[in-house]
């Protein structure tokens, strides 16, 4: 695969050479500065061997060809450079100080909040003054490539892990005979290979190693999308340091995080699901195959709360006056793109005292700390880690511990729409799919500029304030959607990011199943609700396919090349940088209809019984479409497959644009005409009106079949019929519900009404500064 990029295209490059070295663990040590809108500190990367699951080459000729490609990728036009490290290279405001080693000895790493003072570089990484070194006499040195964008890298060094006392207990490195360079590599190899039963000791060793002194600066350079690092006289990946420390700081304009204000007007920063993922937050390996664990220590002013993808419910540790430190860790290997962080003046929202609280408390007690219940055997197919699927106690835990955070001004809305729904939604998911993959959950109501209704990451869900409506339906369905991602999208990920339907299609299909179970609807009511939602999605899919390029309608755009990478492990994500892609729902909708078709064709009971088996077999792993389809059809007797095959499903559903023939025939057989849809919607709206005419104090858990798009549809009708008395409601929707209001800008502009167009421009000017780049680009295209 040729990964040379055409700047006129919209593909996202994944540059990391994961075939040679894989990051096994990250340790981030960071400070958040809201005045400068910068996060700075250092990250330590611990490496293992490269990806061994590359496609086997069929001939010596192919091997030579791939090696040639690899050499081309690694050989730079100019030699790697050594940053000038004299005194002029540092800011006159902050002196150069070596990081101080932690003085807490063998104190548990999970409570370690050591503070580092970091050097600051005048010039950015890409414009540093370099001096050239050609002392390798023409021999090529190995070049480590990391995904990196919009970061100022200050220094890169090897970490002297051999200086850490007490590692002999956990490593078998030949300390007396090996040269220092080899000894350091062997220590890390032994450390990353520790068994899952020693996960606490492993994290403690990682933390202590991360605080070891440096033992040599490494050469580094960069381009737009990557950071390249090498060590003199290290010709292969096996000779390259296996523990390195990178000192860096983010840039205010970096796209991985959003610096904004919350609903109370207080500053905050969070990862908002950028198309470039986390490479503007920390240097990393972005390809999904680079599954790693992490620890992070983050310091901020005492008024801020730090939330993060982490197994522990972190509590702040006081530092110097006015500052707190937060520490999180993860033991389940995950792609770096799934890491999420949010720092703001959040308040924890707790259910108000009621007779139902005893039930909630009982179900949300954490599991006992004893590890005796974990059975570290070969029952799972993934790489070794302390897996909840091997815990009998976890298997019966229908509601995992959870916390809810939001700005204090949204407390009433959280009480009304969200808090009481979490236990039944978690319980419903467990009843359908079994063991929760993650041990706990934080839910954060993010600022108004969040560009979607929700986003799931390990142990944390971001929800838009738009879900906190007067009815429970929108909040409940969206919560179910994001909970479904714990299984599909996180515990089971796509090996090729272009197969987004493996995440979003599953979550969309499962949200209906979870929501019906959470409401405890009778079968006929659940079917009626799901049919209505199917009709709405059908019309939405038709609209989208009429107004989108054919190339972006395909669920498997790489076709037979899906999952393939270059010899180095680098690849591209097709259309990954297209700003319109983030607003398209084809992967959600076509994926949903494919799974609905399979479930109805094979039988709901058969399908969901299979799905639980699939989750048990593939959790903790990356998959391609054929992995799911092959196992599904093999689990069904051939005489009951009704002519379905992996090949024809891929051909008809995944690799073609437009609407699959089987779906067209299914929708024709079912009355999904506009007139029937109007009748169903009218019925749902009538129920919504009846519900909202009731007194505000109503029993928690009351079933509602509220129509989630009523408010948005109302604004569309106001614009269409130029109903001037309600223009203020359209303006309020655009300002307060940015996650749902993007499309209204288009409606306002095509109305050709001067007053409505002025409203669109006025609202955009008010929110533009806080919008994410992709959303702002799309609205700009509509308005100008």
Q: In percent, how much of the chain has pLDDT > 90?
A: 59
Q: In percent, how much of the chain has pLDDT > 70?
A: 78
Select from 206, 181, 183, 220 the least CA-distant residue to 85. 220
Give 227's contacts (C-beta < 8 A, 6+ positions apart). 125, 145, 146, 147, 148, 151, 153, 220, 221, 246, 283
**Ramachandran angles phi, psi of 137, nearest 5°:** 55, 40
CA distance 63 to 373: 47
Residue-level pLDDT at 716: 83
Weakly modelled stretches of the chain, pLDDT under 70: 1-8, 51-139, 173-176, 353-378, 470-471, 671-710, 739-740
Q: How many alpha carbons lie under 13 Å from residue 362 in its C-beta half-sphere?
A: 6
CA distance 579 to 563: 23
Strand blocks (E) in 320-435: 323-335, 341-344, 347-349, 402-406
In eight-state DSSP terms, residue 652 is: I
The strand pair at 621-623 and 492-494 is best described as parallel
Q: Which uninterrupted H or E stretch holds 249? A: strand 243-250
CA distance 760 to 182: 63
Q: How many helices (H) and strands (E) does the chain have?
A: 21, 26
Residue-level pLDDT at 170: 81
Give the position of tokens 């994290």: 203
Residue-level pLDDT at 171: 79
CA distance 556 to 620: 22
CB 81 within 8 Å of CB 219: yes
Collapsed DSSP state (helix, strand, coil) of residue 226: strand
**Ramachandran angles phi, psi of 723, nearest 5°:** -85, 90
Select from 693, 663, 755 the least CA-distant residue to 718. 755
- Return contacts of 361-365, CB within 8 angstroms, 24+ apart: 363/398, 363/399, 363/423, 363/427, 364/399, 364/400, 364/401, 364/402, 364/423, 365/401
Select from 415, 424, 259 the least CA-distant residue to 347. 415
Give the orientation angle of helix 604-618 with respect to helix 586-602, to 10 degrees: 120
Structural tokens at position 289? 């195959």
Collapsed DSSP state (helix, strand, coil) of residue 61: helix
CA distance 556 to 501: 9
CA distance 293 to 310: 10
Give 398's contacts (C-beta < 8 A, 6+ positions apart). 363, 426, 427, 430, 431
CA distance 231 to 144: 9
CA distance 768 to 357: 42
Active site residues per annotation:
482
Give the orientation angle of helix 501-519 with respect to helix 586-602, to 10 degrees: 60
Distance from first CA to last CA of the chain, Å, rounded? 39
């Amino acid at each position: 695969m040729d990964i040379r990029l055409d700047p006129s295209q919209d593909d996202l490059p994944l540059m990391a050479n994961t075939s040679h070295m894989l990051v096994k663990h990250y340790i981030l040590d960071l400070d958040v500065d809201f005045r400068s809108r910068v996060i700075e500190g250092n990250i330590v990367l611990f490496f293992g061997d490269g990806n061994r699951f590359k496609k086997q080459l069929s001939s010596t000729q192919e091997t030579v060809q791939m090696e040639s490609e690899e050499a081309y990728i690694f050989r730079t036009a100019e030699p790697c450079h050594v940053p000038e490290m004299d005194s002029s290279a540092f800011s006159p405001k902050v002196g150069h100080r070596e990081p101080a080693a932690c003085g807490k000895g063998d104190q548990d790493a999970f409570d370690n909040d050591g503070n580092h003072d970091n050097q600051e570089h005048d010039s950015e990484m890409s414009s540093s003054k370099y001096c050239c070194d050609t002392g390798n006499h023409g021999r090529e040195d190995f070049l480590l490539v990391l995904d990196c964008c919009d970061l100022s890298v200050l220094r890169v060094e090897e970490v002297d892990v051999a200086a850490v006392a007490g590692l002999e207990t956990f490593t078998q490195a030949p300390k007396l005979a090996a040269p220092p360079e080899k000894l350091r590599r062997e220590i890390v190899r032994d450390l990353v290979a520790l068994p899952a039963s020693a996960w606490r000791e492993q994290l403690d060793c990682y933390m202590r190693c991360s605080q070891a002194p440096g033992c040599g600066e490494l050469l580094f350079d960069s381009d737009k999308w990557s950071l390249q690092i090498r060590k003199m006289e290290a010709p292969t990946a096996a000779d390259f340091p296996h523990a390195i420390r990178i000192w860096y700081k983010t840039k205010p304009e970096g796209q991985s995080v959003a610096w904004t204000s919350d609903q109370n007007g207080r500053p905050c920063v969070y990862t908002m699901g950028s198309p470039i993922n986390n490479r503007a937050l920390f240097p990393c390996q972005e390809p999904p195959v680079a599954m790693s664990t992490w620890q992070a220590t983050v310091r901020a002013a005492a008024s801020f709360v730090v939330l993060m993808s982490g197994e522990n419910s972190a509590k702040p540790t006081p530092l110097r006056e006015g500052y707190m430190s937060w520490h999180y860790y993860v033991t389940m290997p995950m792609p770096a793109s799934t890491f999420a962080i949010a720092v703001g003046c959040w308040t924890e929202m707790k259910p108000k005292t009621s007779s139902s609280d005893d039930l909630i408390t009982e179900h949300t007690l954490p599991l006992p700390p004893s590890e005796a219940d974990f059975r570290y055997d070969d029952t799972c197919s993934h790489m070794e880690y302390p897996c909840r699927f091997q815990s009998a106690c976890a298997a019966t835990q229908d509601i995992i511990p959870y916390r809810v955070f939001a700005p204090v001004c949204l407390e009433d809305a959280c009480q009304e729409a969200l808090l009481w729904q979490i236990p039944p939604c978690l319980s419903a998911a467990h009843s359908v799919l079994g063991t929760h993959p993650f041990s706990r959950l934080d839910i954060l109501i993010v600022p108004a500029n969040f560009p979607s209704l929700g986003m799931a990451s390990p142990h944390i869900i971001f929800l838009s304030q738009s879900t906190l409506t007067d009815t429970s339906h929108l909040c409940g369905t969206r919560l179910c959607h994001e909970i479904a991602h714990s299984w599909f999208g996180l515990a089971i990920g796509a090996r090729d990011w272009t197969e987004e339907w493996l995440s979003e299609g599953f979550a969309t299909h499962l949200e209906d199943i979870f929501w019906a179970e959470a409401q405890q609807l009778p079968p006929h009511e659940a079917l009626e609700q799901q049919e209505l939602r199917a009709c709405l999605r059908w019309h939405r899919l038709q609209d989208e396919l009429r107004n989108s390029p054919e190339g972006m309608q395909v669920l498997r755009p790489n076709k037979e090349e899906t999952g393939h990478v270059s010899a180095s492990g680098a690849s591209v994500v097709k259309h990954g940088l297209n700003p319109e892609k983030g607003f398209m729902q084809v992967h959600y909708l076509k994926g949903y209809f494919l799974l609905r078709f399979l479930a109805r064709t094979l039988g709901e009971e058969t399908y969901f019984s299979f799905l639980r088996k699939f989750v048990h077999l593939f959790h903790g792993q990356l998959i391609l479409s054929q992995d799911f389809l092959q196992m599904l059809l093999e689990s069904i007797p051939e005489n009951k497959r009704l002519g379905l095959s992996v090949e024809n499903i891929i051909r008809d559903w995944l690799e073609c644009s437009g609407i699959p023939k089987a779906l067209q025939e299914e929708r024709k057989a079912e009355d999904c005409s506009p007139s029937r849809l109007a009748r169903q919607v009218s019925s749902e709206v009538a129920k919504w009106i009846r519900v909202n005419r009731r007194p505000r104090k109503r029993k928690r858990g009351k079933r509602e079949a509220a129509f989630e798009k009523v408010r948005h549809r109302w604004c569309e009708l106001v614009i269409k019929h130029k109903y001037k008395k309600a223009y203020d409601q359209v303006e309020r929707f655009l300002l307060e519900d940015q996650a749902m209001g993007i499309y209204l800008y288009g409606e306002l502009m095509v109305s050709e009404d001067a007053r409505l167009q002025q409203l669109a421009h006025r609202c955009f000017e008010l929110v533009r500064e806080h919008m994410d780049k992709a959303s702002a680009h799309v609205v700009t295209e509509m308005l100008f």
